[in-house]
Structure 1
Amino acid sequence: MNIETLQAQRQLIVRQRIRLMVNQYEVLAAGPDGGEGELLAYAQQKRMAFREQVTLYSDDTKQQPVLGFKARQVLDLAATYDVTDAGGSAIGLFRKDFKQSLLRSTWHLEQPGLGAMIGQERNMAVAILRRFVDSLSWLPYHFDFVLDGQPAFSVIKKFGLRDKYVVEIHNPGLDRRLVVAMAVALDALQSR
């Protein structure tokens, strides 16, 4: 993944691959027509891990890591996740707000030098339905992240057989690596 190419993106697509023992994700640039463009990153997450950790690579050969996120605590419903670059330097962090997430999922995301963002499901009715009717977990949802009352980015889960997300970036100062980590986490960690 070329960092300059990633930083230039205003729209990304995150697509989950279906596998038996792992969650796999492809992060793609959005093409000029809104379709899928070049592969920017590939992620794999083991299911049922005691401490959540996801590493994103430049492609599915998993030879070159580009970023990752890891829980600070083991098995914590409101764990904080540190997001780091390929060299292990901090990019930012995110955490789920357990109390507010009982009805509508709420996440806090921080980028050094930019500030703290809050992301929340847009539609309360869909959020409540997804909580109380397990068979409706496939329902599309929409997360809006705001910074100082202004839209920072949004993550929209599309309707389909496989999980697919469109990420719209509104704030040009956002580190796209942090946005990618949050978008992958919304799928990988949302049901916890």
Structure 2
Amino acid sequence: MTLDTLQAQQSLIVRQRIRFMVNQYEVHAVGPDGREAGVLAFAQQKRLAFKEQVTLYTDDTKQTPLLGFKARQVIDLGATYDVTDAHGQPIGEFKKAFGASLLRSTWVLQQPGYAEMVGQERSQLVAILRRFVDSLSWLPYHFDFTIGDRPAFSVVRKWGLRDRFEVTVHDPYLDRRLVVAMAVALDALQSR
């Protein structure tokens, strides 16, 4: 997979693999027929790490890194995560807006040269249910990210035995690596 191939995608599907002691995710392209096409990236996150870090690779052999994100500080509710390319160069950052997230999860995402993007759960009811009824943490959710009042991208968690997310990019100039990092983070970090 090349960076150009990833950047050309307007729709992506992120699937979680169920594994012991690690969270793993596959990022798929979406073909013209609307079905999953080839794997574009593979992510792995160790559970119970003191400093949250996720590395995305070009495939599940984990030979070639594509990007990664890492918390600036040890586990913290308002931690900022730096997103870097395969060579460790910054491509953006994101953080959970702690105060705004008390009743509806809200994330702030920054891509250099762009205005700040804000992503928030669409449904207040689902957001409240997921917070206060532990057994409902599996409920699907929908995040809309905007730049001002303009849509940037959305992430929709679908029903199913394992987590599946449909990602739609509305802004053609967004760095898809940053979008993928945020989509994975919504699952990997959401409950923190």
TM-score class normalised by the smaller sequence: over 0.9
**Structure 2 portions without partners, runs of 5+:** none
For the aligned residue pairs, the C-alpha RMSD in angstroms reads 0.6
Name the structure 2 match of 1:88.
88
| 2:190 is aligned with 1:187 | no
Asked if 1:45 is matched to 2:42, the reply is: no
**What one-letter code is carried by the residue in structure 1 that aligns with 2:114?**
L
Distance 1:9 1:75 in 2: 32
Q: Does 1:11 align with 2:11?
A: yes
**Correspondences of 1:1-192 after superposition (within 5 Å):** 1-192=1-192
SS in 1 for 2:118: strand
The answer on whether the counterparts of 1:114 and 1:173 sit within 8 Å (CA) in structure 2 is: no
Report the residue type matching 2:125 in the other structure.
A
Structure 2 distance, partners of 1:18, 1:31, is: 25
How far apart, CA to CA, are the structure 2 residues paired with 1:5 and 1:186? 23
* Greater than 4 Å deviation, 4+ residue runs: none
Superposed CA offset, 1:26-75 (max 9, x none)? 00001222111110000000001000000000000000001000000101
Residue type of the alignment partner of 2:79: A
| One-letter code aligned to 1:8 | A
Shift of 1:148: 2.0
Structure 1 CA distance for aligned equivalents of residues 11 and 17 of structure 2: 20
Between the aligned partners of 2:52 and 2:87, the Cα distance in structure 1 is 19
Structure 1 SS opposite 2:81: strand
Contact 1:11–1:169 (CA<8 Å) still a contact in 2?
yes
1-structure distance, mates of 2:17, 2:73: 27
Equivalenced residue count is 192
Q: Which whole-Å CA distance do the structure 2 matches of 1:115 and 1:49 have between them? A: 32
Identity score, percent? 73
One-letter code aligned to 2:190 = Q
Tell whether the 8 Å contact from 1:80 to 1:95 is kept in structure 2 after alignment.
yes
In structure 2, give the amino acid aligned to 1:168: T
Specify every segment of 5 or more residues in structure 1 that has no aligned partner in the other structure, as ranges. none
Q: Which amino acid aligns with 1:101?
A: S
- Structure 1 residues 91-136: Cα deviation after superposition (integer angstroms, max 9, x where no partner): 0000001111110000000000122100000000000000000110
What is the TM-score with the length of structure 2 in the denominator? 0.99
CA distance in 1, matches of 2:162, 2:176: 23
Conserved? CA contact 1:69–1:181, under 8 Å:
yes
TM-score by length of 1: 0.99
Whole-angstrom distance in 1 between the partners of 2:151 and 2:65: 30
In terms of mean alpha carbon deviation, does 147-156 or 27-36 score higher? Answer: 27-36
